[in-house]
Structure 1
Amino acid sequence: MIDGAYLRHALKRAMACALLAPALAGTFALLATLVLSLPDEPIAANILDRPDVLLSRRADNGRVIDADTECIGLSVGMSGGAPVRAGETAFARAMAPRSAYGCEPFLAFLETGDPYEIREYFRYWHGHLVVTRPALSVLAYNDLRGLTFTACVLLLGAATWRIGRDFGAAAGLAFVLPFFVLNALGYWVVATKATTFALAVGACLAFSRRGDRPAPLVAYFALGSLTAFFDFLTAPALIFCLPTIVWVMYRRRGAAAAGGADGKADRNADWRVDWRDVIALGAFWTAGYAGLWAAKIAIAAMVIGPAAWADAMGQAAFRIRGESDLVDAYWPGLALYRNVAALKSLWAPVAIGLFVAAPLIRADARAGLVSIWRRGRLPLALAAAPLAFLELLSNHAQIHAAFTHLNFAPICFLAGLALFGRTAPLLLPEGKPAKPANAVPASE
């Protein structure tokens, strides 16, 4: 299914992305510079309005909060009591920012001015600062949590409503239920996690109306770039895979409608076309993600020297198989086990009962699982990819298991569709599909 016409189509999109990349990098750099140019004093005062809120490791509903990562994120770009680098500009401060490590030293600095141990934190764009610093310039930190919570609830509600309207209420329930079981609520109240959640669910909304169009290659390049900007290595694979599953559902629904009752006449019903397009989407997303992340390190190296590359490579190796007092072993599957175990005494049994036991016990749900295996392998592969990400970054996934387990959401979504008897949107039509046409539309 990869012929000359499709290659020319993809090449045109790649050229457009090559032109877009410098504009995105420049925009990200400008945004980071602008928000780090805001004065620290009102931000510090608003963080200290309720320090107990920031120090709390659990929300009022009992779900775990990644407080230390939030403190690290909030401290990015602040002085920390360290001397300013000679000739440092606002741009240099934004491209090679410093941070604290944990809440206690950060809050001690805000309260007493005691300097903390500085960490160079240039490996990320820290896009969350675009949300936190302007908001904290005028709002107390507790109010910022209210804003992120409300925004995430509205986005999730809109995505659930749209999927429920188009595929049935049970499909909407299957989409939303994993987020409550897998501690999405712990994401909603901390900006360093809420930005990841909002990007993933917002992309589901954005691509749910593109299933009847050619693969949105440039849009996925932009999504990868936004992932590099906003995500704090929490769930980048989720940001790609979950919206793509939704896109495939709408693609197959559109194919069935265009092809008649059995859906076999339309080119989109051919499994090779779906795989080809999703692989292309993955390539463009990866180019946006890896390219913009590499661009950030390259800019930081211009500020603090080539040692930035060595540090970045060392940190990448640490997150894969680095030595840590918090990680005992790297057996295959151990990262997945740690993430399930991190759900603790209540939610782990709920997750296993809802998304493993119940689909296996009910005969019709088992039939749904079999149909996914036979005719829905593309969505299944997309749902499994975030789990492979956890295994690849085993050190990181084990240390942060209480938060990275949101990567189970896509596979739980598929299990929920089987449980509620709504697997049809995932599946290819039965029987031998029609041979697809090779023509590629001129535009996306």
Structure 2
Amino acid sequence: MSGERTGGRLAPLRPWFQGLGMLLVLQFALFGLLVLGQAVPDRPIVENLLTAVEDGTYGPLGVADRMGTPADTFTECVVAGTGLGASPEESAFSRAVRMPRIATCGGGPEQLRAISEGAVLADNDYFKYWAGYTVLTRPVLALAGLEGLRIVSGTLMVVALAGAFLAVRARTSTAVGLALVLPYVAGTNLLSTPSTSFSQSISIAFIFLSVILSAAGAGRSPRLGYAGVGLGAALFCFVDLLTTPAVPWAMSAFAVGAVTWFRRRELGTTFLAVLLSGIVWPVAFAVTWASRWVIAGAFLGFPNTVEVVRRNVGFRTGGEHVNVSDAFGAGLRVNASYWWNAVPTAELVLAGCVLAAAAGLLLALRRGGPSRWAVALVLALPAAVVPVWYAVLSNHSQIHALFVNRGVPAALAVVTAACLVAAALPRPEPAAPAEVEREDSVPPDEDTAARHDPVSEVAAPTRAT
């Protein structure tokens, strides 16, 4: 009996344990993908990258993206060179564990030439990140070169962006879908990334994939919504180099909350959906990140792995760096200032978001009274993830403001979309199918009427056979 009572008490938690189990199993699948990426031969990749060096399209550092901010060619060179430098005799499994990597734009060309002549690089492990992008970058680099990879990454980004809009629109409204994606498109250098920093295009594609999974799942059931949030977080961690995790975190939690409101029209249920989504995302992200360290530690030794982790976490949260302030709120201040001064459309995006949000709040007040403002407040809560991220990872946020500043328009997008959700009218119930009049005016006989009358069919006794 006690076992039954314990099982009854734990029954509500069973789906969460199942979800955690599936997340852990996913880590093995992700590592398997790393092995597949490392199975691609280095030689065609090196040859194509050397061609890009000669053409001047590999790097260099300091390239302008012609949209107001410097291109992130540093990260692009890191991504293009990840997986290179190992001995040809080393297994794909071993390479996936330690993840070799050549230098970035400055020293990369020399190392590429050395590798082409048979050199093997030592002490170039890069296992602190999953580097899941190598599943895409290595085969595309081998087949189509750097320019081909730019096209592929840009295509993925555009498809994911359109998919996120359609997924949110289908389960909320057109206005909400536009409000969630337009500020991020118009208020960042997103459109320049395929040609100047394809690594950011890949990251952005998985931001919107996270939104797609979250909205699509929530449209079917709360459990699938949380599963979509967790899967999106894990995949983003798999391919991203800690660029802008706060953006998919905020957008995914909002998407689940907005879809829940449109389905249920219950403030308490919506708040719970936002809260749980906001918890599931960082948990799935953290589990995936930690799993990479566990895998590395299991094969490379835990003392070395722990030291790498300790050093990097300490530096990213509060390490010293040139022009980095340790004052509280410095990360938020630097990124808000960077966005306002560097992005030419910042004023237009802010003005558009303020006007749209104000219109949404006024319309919400007219349609549902002050209680609708509570809906806007609940759905706007995920935007708080952005300043919290800036505070916790202050060092990282200040050093990489050239792309971390995208969290500012992302937060504006969530707040604006939340206000428009609050103003939305309930969806009309599907109309009952209209009865079709008979073309002839002659009334049917009793037999025909009985055969086509659903009430008669239900009421009629079943004949014995």
Superposition TM-score, scaled by structure 2 size = 0.76
1:287 alignment partner in structure 2: 283
- Secondary structure in structure 2 of the residue aligned to 1:411: helix
Amino acid in structure 2 at the alignment position of 1:393 = L
| Aligned equivalents of 2:8, 2:58: Cα separation in 1 | 51
- List aligned pairs for 1:42-57, cutoff 5 A: 42-51=44-53, 52-56=56-60, 57=63
Aligned length: 404
For the structure 1 residues 160 and 7, does the alpha-carbon distance in structure 2 shift closer, same or farther, using more than 3 Å as the test? Answer: farther
Q: Deviations over 1:419-438 (max 9, x none)?
A: xx73426899xxxxxxxxxx
Q: Deviations over 1:127-166 (max 9, x none)?
A: 1111100111100201110111122112212333454566
2:460 alignment partner in structure 1: none
| Aligned equivalents of 1:163, 1:376: Cα separation in 2 | 17
Structure showing greater radius of gyration is: 2
Q: Deviations over 1:254-288 (max 9, x none)?
A: 123xxxxxxxxxxxx032x3333333334333332
| Aligned equivalents of 2:353, 2:296: Cα separation in 1 | 50
For the structure 1 residues 139 and 88, does the alpha-carbon distance in structure 2 shift closer, same or farther, using more than 3 Å as the test? Answer: closer
- List aligned pairs for 1:3-402, cutoff 5 A: 8=10, 10-51=12-53, 52-56=56-60, 57-59=63-65, 64-79=70-85, 84=87, 89-113=91-115, 118-164=123-169, 167-179=172-184, 180-189=186-195, 190-209=197-216, 210-211=218-219, 213-216=221-224, 217-256=226-265, 269-271=266-268, 273-306=269-302, 307-325=304-322, 327-343=323-339, 345=341, 347=343, 350-355=345-350, 359=354, 364=359, 367=362, 374-402=374-402
- Secondary structure in structure 1 of the residue aligned to 2:76: helix
Do the aligned partners of 1:245 and 1:379 also contact (CA within 8 Å) in 2? yes
Which ranges in structure 1 are unaligned for 5 or more consecutive residues? 257-268, 429-444
TM-superposed CA distance for 1:240, in Å, is 2.3
| Aligned equivalents of 2:114, 2:417: Cα separation in 1 | 53
| Aligned equivalents of 2:320, 2:12: Cα separation in 1 | 41
| Aligned equivalents of 2:240, 2:342: Cα separation in 1 | 28
Amino acid in structure 1 at the alignment position of 2:58 = L
Amino acid in structure 1 at the alignment position of 2:150 = R
For the structure 1 residues 358 and 386, does the alpha-carbon distance in structure 2 shift closer, same or farther, using more than 3 Å as the test? Answer: closer
1:437 alignment partner in structure 2: none
Between the two structures, name the one with larger relative contact order (CA 8 Å, sep ≥ 6).
1
Do the aligned partners of 1:63 and 1:186 also contact (CA within 8 Å) in 2? no
TM-superposed CA distance for 1:226, in Å, is 1.6
Do the aligned partners of 1:241 and 1:383 also contact (CA within 8 Å) in 2? yes
Do the aligned partners of 1:252 and 1:425 also contact (CA within 8 Å) in 2? no
TM-superposed CA distance for 1:28, in Å, is 1.4
Amino acid in structure 2 at the alignment position of 1:320 = T
TM-superposed CA distance for 1:172, in Å, is 3.7
Do the aligned partners of 1:155 and 1:202 also contact (CA within 8 Å) in 2? yes
Q: Deviations over 1:288-317 (max 9, x none)?
A: 222222121111112222211121111011
Amino acid in structure 2 at the alignment position of 1:333 = G
| Aligned equivalents of 1:19, 1:171: Cα separation in 2 | 34
- Secondary structure in structure 2 of the residue aligned to 1:323: coil
Q: Deviations over 1:203-225 (max 9, x none)?
A: 22233232352243333332332
Amino acid in structure 2 at the alignment position of 1:197 = I
- Secondary structure in structure 1 of the residue aligned to 2:143: coil
Using the aligned pairs only, state the percent identity: 23
Which ranges in structure 2 are unaligned for 5 or more consecutive residues? 1-5, 427-465
For the structure 1 residues 375 and 19, does the alpha-carbon distance in structure 2 shift closer, same or farther, using more than 3 Å as the test? Answer: closer
For the structure 1 residues 168 and 356, does the alpha-carbon distance in structure 2 shift closer, same or farther, using more than 3 Å as the test? Answer: same
Do the aligned partners of 1:100 and 1:118 also contact (CA within 8 Å) in 2? no
For the structure 1 residues 112 and 284, does the alpha-carbon distance in structure 2 shift closer, same or farther, using more than 3 Å as the test? Answer: same
- List aligned pairs for 1:417-436, cutoff 5 A: 417=417, 422-424=420-422
| Aligned equivalents of 1:168, 1:361: Cα separation in 2 | 14
Amino acid in structure 2 at the alignment position of 1:252 = W
2:438 alignment partner in structure 1: none
| Aligned equivalents of 2:202, 2:357: Cα separation in 1 | 37
- Name the Cα RMSD after superposition: 3.4
Superposition TM-score, scaled by structure 1 size = 0.80
For the structure 1 residues 93 and 5, does the alpha-carbon distance in structure 2 shift closer, same or farther, using more than 3 Å as the test? Answer: same
